[in-house]
Amino acid sequence: SAGEGAPRERLFDLAANYDQGPLHLGAGYSKEGNAKQFAVRGLYEMGAFTFGAYVQRETVDGVPGPDSRTIGRVSGMYALGASEFHVNVGGTKAGGSFGLSGAKQYTFGYNYNLSKRTKVYGYYTAIDNTAKNKAGDFSSLAAGIRHNF
DSSP string covering 80-134: ETTEEEEEEEEEEEE-GGG-SS-EEEEEEEEEEESSSSEEEEEEEEEEEES-TTS
Quick check: 5 pLDDT over 70? no
Computed over every residue of the chain, the mean pLDDT equals: 87
What pLDDT does residue 34 have?
82
Q: How confident is the model at residue 138 (pLDDT cuts 50, 70, 90)?
A: confident
What digits encode the pLDDT tens for the residues 76-90?
999 999 999 999 999
Q: What are phi and psi of 81, to 5 degrees?
A: 65, -125
pLDDT top residue among 82 and 8: 82
What pLDDT does residue 63 have?
53
What pLDDT does residue 100 have?
54
Q: How confident is the model at residue 92 (pLDDT cuts 50, 70, 90)?
A: confident
Q: The pTM is what?
A: 0.79
> How many C-beta atoms surround the C-beta of residue 2 within 10 A?
7
